[in-house]
Amino acid sequence: MIAILDYGAGNLRSVELGFARVGVPAVVVTKPEQLREANALVLPGVGAFADAMNALRSGTLLPEMLREVENGKPLLGICLGMQALFDSSEEGVGVEGLGLIGGKVKRLPSETPLGRQKVPHMGWNTLTPRGDSPMFDGLPTDPYVYFVHSFACFPDDPADVLASAEYGVEFAAAVCRGNVMGMQFHPEKSGEVGKRLLQNFAKWAEGGAF
């Protein structure tokens, strides 16, 4: 069973339905003890970085989540949930992230060498995988996924980048450090590619090595 953390800042139902579509048991949880019963954890998120971090820290789930992650349980952050994995964000100056992956979250540029671009970045974009992670097993070349974000992650260590994308600047679209993974895009809204990504994460949760 995969536990989807309900801390007041997540697109819970769509993530739950995304796993249901591929036959993976996933439930929205509100109690710390439910995290101990899960094979893996999902930290969703929509909205502003500071609001999400404040909601996470004021609730009861975070201490148990961090204990489970420290003990090796897989954790997937989606969209704002991925940004929360990092040290800090320009969206919430002075508000600390979880620091599970070193690096910063920065605003996407509205001015580029090719001219102005709309922010937020909203729509389909190509992933460029870095290396041969099993997370991308069964995916087509240059897979398309769905993004909705104004801020993007820039890890300190390039080895933490599973895949990149470009929107005026190259940014980390998917990251992994140990048992902590993040996807800036929405796999639950990314069609057949997203389904396969959720299946691959579930396989990892069952004990497959990455």
Instruction: Please list the active-site residues.
Output: 79, 186, 188
**38 backbone dihedrals φ, ψ, rounded to 5°:** -90, 155
Q: Which pair of structure tokens corresponds to residue 75?
A: 């954790």
| Sign, Cα dihedral of 132, 135, 137, 138 | negative
| Sign, Cα dihedral of 143, 149, 150, 151 | negative
Q: Which pair of structure tokens corresponds to residue 148?
A: 């909705």
What SS3 state is found at 112? strand
Beta strands in the chain (DSSP E): 2-5, 26-29, 40-43, 75-78, 88-89, 103-107, 111-112, 115-116, 121-126, 128-129, 144-149, 151-155, 161-166, 170-177, 180-183
193 half-sphere exposure, CB direction, 13 A CA radius: 19
Helix axes 49-58, 61-70, angle to 10 degrees: 90
